[in-house]
Amino acid sequence: MDTRTYKIFRYDSSKNEKPKFRSFEIPVEKGMTVLEGLIYIQDNIDGSLAFRSSCRAGVCGSCAMHINGKYRLACETQIYSLKSKTVTIRPMAHLKVIKDLFVDLEPFWEKYKLIKPFLQPGEPPPERERIQTADDRLRLEGLIDCILCGACQASCTVCETHPEYLGPAILLKVNRFVEDSRDNAADERLEEVSGFNGVFRCHTIFNCQEVCPKELDPTGSIANLKRKIIKKKFGPAKLYK
Amino acid sequence: MKFHNAIVIGGGLAGLRAAVALNQMNVNVGVISKVHPLRSHSIEAQGGINASLGNHVRGGHDDYKKHAFDTIKGSDYLADQKAATRLTQNAVECIIEMEHWGCPFSRTEDGKIAQRPFGGAGFPRTCYASDKTGHVLLHTLYEQVAKFEYHSEREQIKIYNEWFVTSVVIIDGVCQGVIAMNIATGELEEFRADAVIFATGGAGRIYGKTTNALINSGYGMAIPFHAGIPLKDMEFIQFHPTTLYGTNILMTEGCRGEGGFLENNKGERFLAFYDDSKKAMEVAPRDIVSRNITKEILAGRGFEDSYVHLDLRHLGERRIMERLPEIRNLSINFAGVDPVHELIPIQPGQHYTMGGIDTNINAETRALGLYAAGECACVSVHGANRLGGNSLLETTVYGKIAGESAGEYILSGGPAKRDENIMKDSLKKDEDKINELLQSSGSEKIADIKKELNDVMDSNVGIFREGKSLADALDKVRELKHRFKNLKVTNKERNLNQELINKMELQGNLDVAEVIVMGALAREESRGSQARTDFPKRNDESWLKHTLAYCTPDGFKLEYSEVDVSIYEPKERKY
């Protein structure tokens, strides 16, 4: 039977021990995902391994982790697609490790709540649904699809140097509301992300876009917000002789 | 010790909807969830949510009564008819409310909420957001919770992420609160409350071939069951016709609603060969399509004796990308096929538990102050078979009803009697139980018992059932329960011990599985999702009744209760 070596980052924040990598040899077959490998280890070799998982179908965002050099969802990464005998797994970066691959996501959710992530229509609702044209709805494609796995935040080098920076996932969420024809708080939202830890902190490195498991474009969202802020500040472009 | 007026267990759609309803009534509420709410299984729902909005060009004459009738007929007349009517009557309001909160539904050409045809429905009434309806609904509800959690001018709404409830405390028929464990530290805590709402989802992981998330262990049903609350109609398990071969990841009913075909190994649309599906074809209800796929495979007209094909190719790339983009992603990532050019291998798989914690039309259980909503509850609105698009609807409608019922109870004074000692005792009991689980030094592996349970449920308690094999399954489950006492543990620490949680959940799994098999074995008829080969006919005379399973000191007992058939006369079900 074919095998792979899992090299997994191990650390327990409740103990006074340094982090280390531990290796596990596991049997693999075609169709097996990195998550199934982790479950195999927890079930059969070491019951103390800790990691998050839920949907196992790439839609809930629980299992983002650093796998062979890239942030990915463990559940939708085929072991064979890694084309390597070793599967090296680390937890998400820039967050405190509680245990092994299980990190403290509270700072991420706190940032999420900071941006007022809810529709602000600014007027009482009509009797029935608000009308939104198919074209207006189309502008939300690629924005409402974010599963908040945090892979982009972990890959972002600015998130590392500036922990207060809102980060790509959160700014994409801001853009989702700015672009929604039913939302009426764009000015306020743009004002809020134009500060020190908002969109201008982004250095347009594109790491976020590269790792996004849903193939979304947070860099594009950030650029869109920047453009809108500048337009608001300086008005439409004028041509001078 | 923590206190909230209301405690909601589960952060999926039903739980969050109940929490929002309580918050709107200005009641202090805590939500306990073993995963972050956005990781709940609701997020996986794809196809849509039913309401008779009449936005579709062919939906103009739709109304809630027709929706109720379809639901009741789909249930094979086991649904309680007033409950089903209440569901459909509130549907429009609930969907419009979600839209007002910002839910990005797909739109019709004139900018209204788009609707698509679904199985067993007389009109296209399934509202959707491409094939990510659960995702957008759950995000929208969580946004509302975040709004009031962080910027609230009302009473507190607090979410306890990654807390695991170990028991519910009921004394003299009055609920006092729950005991829960902080997963990160392993410490137990008393959560005192006036009212408790269970919204813990389904029990799909009792089966091996299931569309359910890994977290859907059904433990949330086992907790109130152990506290004396009956489970209702547990033998009715829905098998979704189209799950991806190999991983059993869901391929939404929307695939067929949008015009996809099911084909056997000769490329024939085989649903035409069967009386009960030849008219509705691919949009016949799930139980019928699942059975006919299985018959086709058993007749040797499947592939590798295990799957048939779902054909979307004729829809064209544009329509697939617009309406079913996630289906395309999943097919490529997990089966290596691109539905634009290739056929998707599918087989039926466990999808939904119609049964659950017994509640009445107000989401109240038999204990005062204890409520249940969503998949873990059984009102019953789905009876013996649920229609696609009705589960999301149930979570929002009955989630809200549960929240409002609990809110009224709290605002009118709450429990007449509070017993703090009993909470302390319960905590102590759970503490002892956990220590015992950690100390056990047997030889059986958790994963082995789970695997054997999954296998026997897949093979003996699946789409087609038969007395002998059900009796065998019952023996097997009881044998596994016996072996459970001899478990091996490798991790004896308290902090973040996922092995310990798996172990506690497995115990719940085994109990819920036993209830399912007992109910299936006792019910000597075929109705909805239960197809007994030895009793192939529906038998209204003896079996038009709900199964109620009780946990008693002398083992599990079955009782039966009446079905509300006050609106529509039960008839033979044909499509």
Flag residues of chain A having pLDDT under 70.
Answer: 237, 239-241
Mean pLDDT computed over B348-370: 97
Best to test chain A binding among B46, B97, B143 (most A CBs inside 10 Å): B143
- Of A56, A81, A103, which closes a domain? A103
The token duo for B280 is 């509705």
The pLDDT tens digits for B279-325 are: 999 999 999 999 999 999 999 999 999 999 999 999 999 999 999 99
The CA distance from B499 to B505, in Å, is 10
Whether omega before B380 lies within 30 degrees of 0, making that bond cis, reads: yes
Unique residue bearing structure tokens 């038999």: B366
Q: For residue A9, give Cα distances in angstroms to A88, A92, B162, B464.
A: 8, 11, 22, 46
Same domain, A214 and A157: yes
CATH number at residue A149: 1.10.1060.10
Residue B150 scores a pLDDT above 90: no
The reported pLDDT for the residue numbered B62 is 96
Domain ranges for chain B = 240-349, 420-549
The reported pLDDT for the residue numbered A240 is 65
The reported pLDDT for the residue numbered B46 is 94
Number of helices followed by number of strands (H, E) in chain B: 16, 21
Same domain, A66 and A184: no
Residue B529 scores a pLDDT above 60: yes
CATH-assigned architecture of domain B240-349: Alpha-Beta Complex (3.90)
- Write down the mean pLDDT value for chain B: 96
Query: Which residues of chain A does B498 touch, with a Cβ-Cβ cutoff of 8 Å?
Result: 42, 47, 49-51
Strand A86-90 relative to strand A3-10, pairing: parallel
Model ipTM value? 0.96
The CA distance from B474 to B558, in Å, is 14
Mean pLDDT computed over B451-456: 98
- Of A103, A138, A167, which closes a domain? A103
Mean pLDDT computed over B527-552: 97
Q: Could you say which DSSP state residue B297 is in?
A: I
The CA distance from A140 to A136, in Å, is 7
**Is B369 strand, coil or helix?**
coil
Q: Is the dihedral of CA B147, B152, B155, B161 positive or negative?
A: positive
- Of A57, A81, A103, which closes a domain? A103
| Residue A240 belongs to some domain of the structure | no
The reported pLDDT for the residue numbered B169 is 97
Domain hosting A217: range is 106-234
Same domain, A153 and A197: yes
Cβ pair B221, B231 in contact under 8 A: yes
* A105 to chain B: closest CA residue: B36
Query: Which residues of chain A does B334 touch, with a Cβ-Cβ cutoff of 8 Å?
Result: 57, 76
Same domain, A138 and A185: yes
Question: Taking the CB of residue B387, how many other CB atoms lie within 10 A of it?
Answer: 26
**Is B548 strand, coil or helix?**
strand
Same domain, A46 and A140: no
The reported pLDDT for the residue numbered B330 is 94
| Residue A11 belongs to some domain of the structure | yes
**Is B362 strand, coil or helix?**
coil
Query: Which residues of chain A does B96 touch, with a Cβ-Cβ cutoff of 8 Å?
Result: 128-129
Residues whose CB falls within 8 Å of the CB of residue B246, separated by 6 or more in sequence, listed in order: A31, B334, B335, B345
The reported pLDDT for the residue numbered B31 is 98
Stretch (H or E) spanning B395? helix B390-411
**Is B409 strand, coil or helix?**
helix
Query: Which residues of chain A does B185 touch, with a Cβ-Cβ cutoff of 8 Å?
Result: 14
The CATH T-level fold of domain B420-549 is Methane Monooxygenase Hydroxylase; Chain G, domain 1 (1.20.58)
What amino acid is encoded at B360 in this protein?
N
The pLDDT tens digits for B17-30 are: 999 999 999 999 99
The CA distance from B68 to B381, in Å, is 9
Mean pLDDT computed over B175-196: 97
The token duo for B370 is 């204890």
Catalytic residue status for B256? yes
Instruction: Label residues B487-500 b or e (16+ Cβ within 10 Å = b).
Output: bebebbbbbbbbbb
The DSSP bridge partners found for residue B466 are none
Same domain, A151 and A132: yes
The pLDDT tens digits for B212-269 are: 999 999 999 999 999 999 999 999 999 999 999 999 999 999 999 999 999 999 999 9
Which backbone phi and psi does B243 adopt, to 5 degrees?
A: -120, 150
Task: For chain B, give the percent of residues with pLDDT over 90.
Answer: 96
The pLDDT tens digits for B152-184 are: 778 899 999 999 999 999 999 999 999 999 999
Same domain, A225 and A111: yes
Number of domains within chain A: 2
Best to test chain B binding among A14, A17, A55 (most B CBs inside 10 Å): A55
CATH number at residue A83: 3.10.20.30
Q: For residue B211, give Cα distances in angstroms to A11, B44, B457, B531.
A: 33, 9, 15, 20
Query: Which residues of chain A does B100 touch, with a Cβ-Cβ cutoff of 8 Å?
Result: 119, 121, 125, 129-130
Unique residue bearing structure tokens 């790509």: A168
Question: Taking the CB of residue B300, how many other CB atoms lie within 10 A of it?
Answer: 9
**B541 near A CB under 8 A:** no
The pLDDT tens digits for B420-446 are: 899 999 999 999 999 999 998 899 999
Q: For residue B111, give Cα distances in angstroms to A182, B116, B272.
A: 12, 15, 36
The pLDDT tens digits for B468-501 are: 999 999 999 999 999 999 998 889 999 999 999 9
The CA distance from B140 to B133, in Å, is 11
Stretch (H or E) spanning B421? helix B420-439
The CA distance from B76 to B282, in Å, is 19
Q: B356 CA to chain A: closest CA distance, Å? A: 21
Same domain, A93 and A172: no
Instruction: Report which of A207, A56, A106 is spatially closest to residue B248, judged by C-alpha positions.
Output: A56
The reported pLDDT for the residue numbered A241 is 54
**B56 near A CB under 8 A:** no
Q: Which of B240, B291, B386, B546 is catalytic?
A: B240
- Among B39, B99, B330, the residue with its CB nearest the CB of A62 is B39
| Residue A150 belongs to some domain of the structure | yes
Q: For residue B313, give Cα distances in angstroms to B284, B289, B308, B342.
A: 21, 20, 15, 7
Stretch (H or E) spanning B516? helix B498-522
The reported pLDDT for the residue numbered A1 is 86
What amino acid is encoded at B80 in this protein?
D
Instruction: Report which of B446, B368, B303 is spatially closest to residue B171, judged by C-alpha positions.
Output: B368
Q: A66 CA to chain B: closest CA distance, Å? A: 19
What is the greatest pairwise CA distance in chain A?
Answer: 75
**B107 near A CB under 8 A:** yes
The token duo for A63 is 């299992």
Residue B135 scores a pLDDT above 80: yes
Residue B195 has, within 13 A of its CA and on its CB side, a CA count of 29
Catalytic residue status for B240? yes
Q: B382 CA to chain A: closest CA distance, Å? A: 24
Same domain, A171 and A128: yes
Residue A72 has, within 13 A of its CA and on its CB side, a CA count of 21
Instruction: Reduce the secondary structure of B226-252 to three states and give it as a string.
Output: HCCCCEECCCCEEEEEEEECCCCCECC
The token duo for B294 is 């299985």
Same domain, A93 and A135: no
Residues whose CB falls within 8 Å of the CB of residue B436, separated by 6 or more in sequence, listed in order: none
Q: Is the dihedral of CA B90, B94, B95, B99 positive or negative?
A: positive
Same domain, A24 and A48: yes
The CA distance from B268 to B20, in Å, is 49
Stretch (H or E) spanning B50? strand B49-50
Q: Which of B41, B67, B205, B256 is catalytic?
A: B256
Burial of B536 (0-12, 13-18, 19+ CB in 10 A): exposed
Mean pLDDT computed over B129-133: 95
| Residue A239 belongs to some domain of the structure | no
Cβ pair A113, B36 in contact under 8 A: no
**What is B469-480 written as a DSSP string?**
HHHHHHHHHHHH
Same domain, A30 and A111: no
| Angle at B527 (CA atoms; ends B521, B533), nearest 5 degrees | 55
Beta sheet of B555-562, edge-to-edge order? B377-378, B356-358, B231-232, B545-552, B555-562
| Residue A241 belongs to some domain of the structure | no
